[in-house]
Amino acid sequence: MKPDLIGLDAHEIKKWAVGLGIDAYRGRQIQHWLFKRLASSFEEMTDLSKSLRTLLKEKANISTLEKIKSLVSEDGTEKYLFRLSDGYYIESVLIPERDHFTLCVSSQAGCAMGCRFCLTAKQGLKRDLTPSEIIDQVIQARKSMDDPDRMTNIVLMGMGEPLANYDAVVKAIGILISEDGMNFSHRKVTLSTCGLVPQIKKMGQDITVNLAISLNAGDDKTRNFLMPINKKYPLNSLISACRDFPLPNRRMITFEYILIEGINDRDEDALNLCSLLSGLRAKINLIPLNPYPESQMSPPPMERILQFQEILIKNHFTAIIRKSKGRDILAACGQLSGTYS
Ligand code: SAH
């Protein structure tokens, strides 16, 4: 099978080049074209000889994602639909912030985690993405921007559970943050997980990017109801992995908490959350539930949300209410399905 060159790190591409009888330094040149100049074909690599370009074309692929469609929300959020080479679909979301853009990237087609509030969960897991398919989302989105350098942040919060596709995700992050690769700052890459405890421990040793935990409840009963993974890794094991997680100076773990009316939005729930996270360097993102058709759950009224936040702040936590963007085009958290009707 032809390798996808954007999924190879600097070492691998050199090794691959040498295997083909090409000088190792060409690997670096090719990576420059792929990651810095966003070339989508070998023809564009004009400082390589014509015969070399022909050879590369025979022996390798560049991009395998096909951009099918993009939708732009009223607030400027843009959602891309991509088709994978075997016909599955994934989505990525480009989110405008005050002074930069954040790209929300998928790690799997579908998801096996079955969280009750999330639309992606409804389709089950189709398959893991390859490192190349993860990185290609970034490349394709950058290519569609007037100034690609304004995309400074990446969040692995799209479709799928990144830590359930551990090796490919870690490999892709390595390429995204390496100088030879896409050169993102590791401070600006965030991986979000529903709480796969063994992989959280491993991740702390393997990579230094930000960790976000989709928490959504401060007690096991509620969390079991919302997120089946909690039965396997209950809160005490999850929080203890967070306490052990190596955090560079001044960094914090982000805890995402979707507020759902009548389920996890009482004062008592806020107090549970405070005692669960006490002593942790934690930042809490409160996300009012984004309903999707048939979800049968709703966000609490704003008054309740503010009261919930107030309790957290009184207990000395940083707690922000995260406005969801792109709701009108089903691009907000938990609304990605990989389909268009
Ligand atoms: N599997 C990973 C990453 C994908 S979910 C994880 O669970 O973290 C990204 C975020 O969207 C999570 O924080 C999740 O809690 C949130 N989310 C999912 N469905 C949502 C919904 N309907 N409304 C608001 N946020 C939602």
Which are the contacts of 24, defined by CB distance < 8 A and separation ≥ 6? 14, 17, 18
Substitution site in 287, 289, 323 for ligand 1 pocket (most atoms within 8 Å of beta carbon): 287
Q: Please check whether residues 169 and 209 belong to one and the same domain.
A: yes
What's the 215 CA to ligand 1 centre distance in angstroms? 9
Residue 289 Cβ < 6 Å to ligand 1: yes
Domain assignment present for residue 161? The answer is yes
What's the 231 CA to ligand 1 centre distance in angstroms? 18
Domain assignment present for residue 339? The answer is no
Per-residue pLDDT of the chain (341 residues; tens, 9 = 90+): 889 999 999 999 999 999 999 999 999 999 999 999 999 999 999 999 999 999 999 999 998 899 998 999 999 999 999 999 999 999 999 999 999 999 999 999 999 999 999 989 998 999 999 999 999 999 999 999 999 999 999 999 999 999 999 999 999 999 999 999 999 999 999 999 999 999 999 999 999 999 999 999 999 999 999 999 999 999 999 999 999 999 988 899 999 999 999 999 999 999 999 999 999 999 999 999 998 778 889 999 999 999 999 999 999 999 999 987 888 877 778 777 777 54
What's the 332 CA to ligand 1 centre distance in angstroms? 9
What's the 290 CA to ligand 1 centre distance in angstroms? 10
Q: How many domains does the chain have?
A: 2
What's the 31 CA to ligand 1 centre distance in angstroms? 33
Return the closest-CA partner of residue 267 out of 321, 215, 311: 311
Q: Domain end: 59, 85, 102, which one? A: 59
| Positions marked catalytic | 91, 333
Quick one: tokens of 204? 């702390």
Nearest CA to ligand 1 atom 21: 334
Place of tokens 């806020």: 270
Domain assignment present for residue 340? The answer is no
Domain assignment present for residue 93? The answer is yes
Q: Residue 81: which H helix or E strand, with range? A: strand 78-83
Which ligand 1 atom minimizes the distance to the CA of 212?
Answer: 8
Domain that holds residue 104: 66-329
CA R_g for the chain: 21
Contact yes or no for 181/9 (Cβ under 8 A): yes
How far apart are alpha carbons 132 and 87 in whole angstroms? 16
Residue 287 Cβ < 6 Å to ligand 1: yes
**Cα torsion through 167, 196, 105, 72, rounded to 10:** 160
Q: Please check whether residues 49 and 96 belong to one and the same domain.
A: no
**CATH number of the domain to which 125 belongs:** 3.20.20.70
Q: Please check whether residues 70 and 46 belong to one and the same domain.
A: no
How far apart are alpha carbons 243 and 236 in whole angstroms? 10
Q: What ranges in the chain are assigned the alpha helix state H?
A: 10-19, 25-31, 50-59, 131-143, 166-177, 197-206, 220-226, 229-232, 235-244, 267-276, 302-314
**CATH number of the domain to which 44 belongs:** 1.10.150.530
Which ligand 1 atom minimizes the distance to the CA of 335?
Answer: 22
Q: Please check whether residues 16 and 131 belong to one and the same domain.
A: no
C-alpha distances in angstroms, 47 versus 6, 34, 50, 276, 293? 19, 13, 9, 57, 52
Residue 269 Cβ < 6 Å to ligand 1: no
Contact yes or no for 335/292 (Cβ under 8 A): yes
Domain assignment present for residue 337? The answer is no
Residue 211 Cβ < 6 Å to ligand 1: no
